Structure 1
Amino acid sequence: MDADATLSLALELGFSTARICRADEAWAAGDRLAEYVADGHHGSMAWMEETLERRQHPTAMWPEAKSAVVVGLNYGPEQDPLPLLERRSEGVVSVYAQNGDYHDLLKKRLKHLARAFAGKTGKQVKVFVDTAPLMEKPLAEKAGIGWQGKHTNLVSREFGSWLFLGVMLTEAELEPDEAERDTCGSCRACLDICPTNAFPQPYRLDARRCISYLTIEHKGVIPVEYRQPMGNRIYGCDDCLAVCPWNKFAQTSTEMAFHPRPELKGPLLAELAALDDAAFRQVFTASPVKRIGRDRFVRNVMIAIGNSGDHELVSVVEAALDDGSALVRGMAVWALGQLSPLRVSEMHEMKVAAEPDLDVVTEWQALSQKIS
């Protein structure tokens, strides 16, 4: 089974694109990753530091790897996500998470490809879909699927910003494709649109400032300086992806599994704030959103409510002041201060006296000082 046959099979299996690169050649991506971690730009994602050595090169994962078959699956949205940020009483979930977990679909197809390849060639293979310590984006650039733009994400001439990536490593030596070249030029659209200035320089992301990191990976109280810039983003952020000029070539995904669920098309913040743990699990069954848990999700919803300017949501916030989660209560205090600061002075003494959690007390005190 040669390179052409392998790529043809990948396309037959439903992948949008597939190309090949050497997996055993030197590259600069490993050094860039080490510098990134040394600078602390990975934030609290300790797994990046713990797996650094294995991430630095594909052969660190598997010394026998000679070739990488890199596949992409288009998840282009039906509509530009940026206008949704103006609908402030609704929550915005990142495009990739508006339906089922893409890992399942990609891995199923990759395993099919791997079984067929191993059966035809007798060569060993391993498959990866971004849950293992393998850097797919540098491999995708090396294979010619796209290039890592100034926002560090992959950009494709054919699909713009919207590609899920998977990799099949093999000990077979396959004819590689030509690498893609960076064609960002002087464009800074992705850097300039970032609400939290998370890019200290082109091609470098400081995750600690990134809304995707803050709403998904960050487990505690979200720092005050990032709350208003979050707007109504309640899971992830697509701004730097959506603004890319190369999206003029993007295509709406034909995969029904990637089309948004009806309940995530403009979900009302009031309804999301009312989710208890059981309801959260039901709504987000098989969704990437489920992994952050109900409390962190409603924490994000409270911040979005505080940014909404919708005074009809004050009663929703007041109900959350008695939530079982201190994380939710703390963000509800902040949201109340944004929507109705006078209510803070009325409730402050009573709530602080009854509140055992330091973070929540700190939120009350900060708001009291703000309006005094």
Structure 2
Amino acid sequence: MTARRPMQTLETAIKAEAARLGFAACGFARADAAPRTAARLAAWLAEGCHGDMIWMESRAEQRGSPAGLWPEVRSVIMLGMSYAPANDPLRLEGEGTIGRISAYAQGADYHDVVKKLLKQLARWLVERAGCELKVFVDTAPVMEKPLAEAAGIGWQGKHSNLVSQSDGSWLFLGAIYTTLELAPDAAGRDRCGSCTACQQACPTDAFPAPYRVDARRCISYLTIEHKGPIPLEFRAALGNRIYGCDDCLAVCPWNKFAASAAANLAFAPRAELVAPALADLLALDDASFRQVFAGSPIKRIGRDRMVRNAALAAGNSGEPALLDRLMPLFDDPDPAVSDAALWAAARLAPERFAYKADALAISG
């Protein structure tokens, strides 16, 4: 007589279905599993570390705990999808005429890709278990990283992002809030040890202490979220970064265990976003910007911020040939673009343009 197989638990079935859909990680946490999140968020906001990200402030109560957003939630299903790059994200450092775009933004918009798969998993779960649920990817007031740590997917590293033993620092996170009472996984354990590689790698000293980031000094924040002129003290440190910054993530030793996600065609880098020429970016108008960045997460920053970033990168390039593309931007309708173009021109040809920069008090 053959022994019966043990009945598959719902938790095991969920993880199997998540893996089938392409998620690299799946874990469960009680809705109240990260009780210190609200207090830490409040302290971070009180210090002004969120900069212009006013939405962090306005929905802090909802963001502080899952129940603050949806009182009926009982469990949180956290999912991770790998976007581990096939090539070294730091390889274009010092390539003066090329702009550097963060690895996560070189392919399709992860919001769309991950949310579509989350909805598929959600539909499967409703059919299987008959529950209520809500799905979230990044844009809702959800603290994904503490919840992912609570669900055992990884831990928040010293760069404040999630680190996984199997996928390094390269995971997109999504969440499903549900009324189901799911057995929680063991929380992730901090394995950073004495390593400070990410702290040392930051070009703008954006980490006032390990595990804390001051967004106002972070290149990802400055090039993506920050509106208006970028402060003088950070412009040279931008180098040729025009959208985001991978430095603190790319040096994480745990990345050596992450297999490249190139097989996931949704996140396959688009050729025009892998190493874009600054000369082409400086010539963008609204229509051409929308055409180039259609279907990319970059589209949300708009033409003006992209051209501003490209102008500053041009100023750091040491390539006077870019002056021909910068000069038409001196009178750009957007003040941040004209400011960046004049600063860049003064860097590339101070004998010709320093007086213009002086007039705007942006030389240096």
Shorter-chain TM-score category?
over 0.9
| Counterparts of residues 21-32 of structure 1 (less than 5 Å) | 21-25=29-33, 27-32=35-40
Q: Which residue pairs with 1:321 in the alignment?
A: 330
The one of 71, 81, 102 equivalent to 1:63 is 71
Kindly state the Cα deviation for residue 366 of structure 1 after the two structures are TM-superposed: 4.3
Judging changes above 3 Å, is the alpha-carbon distance between structure 1 residues 325 and 26 closer, same or farther for their aligned structure 2 residues? closer
Kindly state the Cα deviation for residue 211 of structure 1 after the two structures are TM-superposed: 0.5
Q: Which residue pairs with 2:123 in the alignment?
A: 115
Q: Which residue pairs with 1:189 in the alignment?
A: 197
TM-score, structure 1 as length reference: 0.93
Kindly state the Cα deviation for residue 178 of structure 1 after the two structures are TM-superposed: 1.1
Q: Which residue pairs with 2:237 in the alignment?
A: 229
Judging changes above 3 Å, is the alpha-carbon distance between structure 1 residues 132 and 140 closer, same or farther for their aligned structure 2 residues? same
Whether the 8 Å CA contact 1:211–1:236 is kept in 2: the answer is yes
Distance 2:88 2:294 in 1: 25
Distance 1:137 1:120 in 2: 27
> Residues 103-158 of structure 1, C-alpha deviation per residue, up to 9 Å, x if partnerless?
11111111111111112211111111111001111111111111000110000100
> Residues 62-110 of structure 1, C-alpha deviation per residue, up to 9 Å, x if partnerless?
1121111111110011111112112121000111111211011111111
Secondary structure of the corresponding residue to residue 178 of structure 1: coil
Q: Which residue pairs with 2:148 in the alignment?
A: 140
Distance 1:138 1:362 in 2: 47
Q: Which residue pairs with 1:202 in the alignment?
A: 210
Q: Which residue pairs with 2:251 in the alignment?
A: 243
State the one-letter code of the partner of 2:112: D
Between Structure 1 and Structure 2, the one with more helix by share is 1
The one of 342, 361, 365 equivalent to 2:351 is 342
State the one-letter code of the partner of 1:301: A
Kindly state the Cα deviation for residue 322 of structure 1 after the two structures are TM-superposed: 3.1
Whether the 8 Å CA contact 2:339–2:362 is kept in 1: the answer is no
The one of 277, 285, 290 equivalent to 2:299 is 290
Secondary structure of the corresponding residue to residue 118 of structure 1: helix
Q: Which residue pairs with 1:149 in the alignment?
A: 157
Distance 2:362 2:24 in 1: 51
Greater mean alpha carbon deviation, residues 315-324 or residues 183-192: 315-324
Whether the 8 Å CA contact 1:24–1:65 is kept in 2: the answer is no
Kindly state the Cα deviation for residue 24 of structure 1 after the two structures are TM-superposed: 2.9
Judging changes above 3 Å, is the alpha-carbon distance between structure 1 residues 75 and 26 closer, same or farther for their aligned structure 2 residues? closer
The one of 160, 176, 180 equivalent to 1:168 is 176
Q: Which residue pairs with 2:3 in the alignment?
A: none
Judging changes above 3 Å, is the alpha-carbon distance between structure 1 residues 181 and 301 closer, same or farther for their aligned structure 2 residues? same
> Residues 173-230 of structure 1, C-alpha deviation per residue, up to 9 Å, x if partnerless?
1111111100101111101110110000111100000000000100111000000000
Q: Which residue pairs with 2:290 in the alignment?
A: 281
Aligned residues: 355
The one of 10, 31, 35 equivalent to 2:18 is 10
| Structure 1: gaps (5+ residues) | 349-359
Judging changes above 3 Å, is the alpha-carbon distance between structure 1 residues 361 and 13 closer, same or farther for their aligned structure 2 residues? same
Kindly state the Cα deviation for residue 325 of structure 1 after the two structures are TM-superposed: 2.5
Whether the 8 Å CA contact 1:125–1:168 is kept in 2: the answer is yes
Distance 2:122 2:161 in 1: 26
Distance 1:103 1:115 in 2: 18
Q: Which residue pairs with 1:211 in the alignment?
A: 219
Kindly state the Cα deviation for residue 297 of structure 1 after the two structures are TM-superposed: 0.6
Distance 2:298 2:277 in 1: 16
> Residues 217-255 of structure 1, C-alpha deviation per residue, up to 9 Å, x if partnerless?
001110000000000000000100001011111111121
Query: Is residue 2:264 matched to residue 1:255?
Result: yes
Whether the 8 Å CA contact 1:16–1:72 is kept in 2: the answer is yes
State the one-letter code of the partner of 2:229: V
> Residues 288-327 of structure 1, C-alpha deviation per residue, up to 9 Å, x if partnerless?
1111110111000000000001121122212222333222
Distance 1:64 1:42 in 2: 29
Distance 1:326 1:37 in 2: 28
Kindly state the Cα deviation for residue 362 of structure 1 after the two structures are TM-superposed: 5.0
Kindly state the Cα deviation for residue 361 of structure 1 after the two structures are TM-superposed: 7.8
**C-alpha RMSD of the superposition:** 1.4
The one of 88, 102, 110 equivalent to 2:96 is 88
Whether the 8 Å CA contact 2:159–2:211 is kept in 1: the answer is yes
Q: Which residue pairs with 2:41 in the alignment?
A: 33
Q: Percent identity?
A: 55
Whether the 8 Å CA contact 2:146–2:156 is kept in 1: the answer is yes
Distance 2:218 2:337 in 1: 21
Judging changes above 3 Å, is the alpha-carbon distance between structure 1 residues 130 and 362 closer, same or farther for their aligned structure 2 residues? farther
Whether the 8 Å CA contact 2:63–2:141 is kept in 1: the answer is yes
Kindly state the Cα deviation for residue 26 of structure 1 after the two structures are TM-superposed: 5.2
Distance 2:139 2:14 in 1: 23
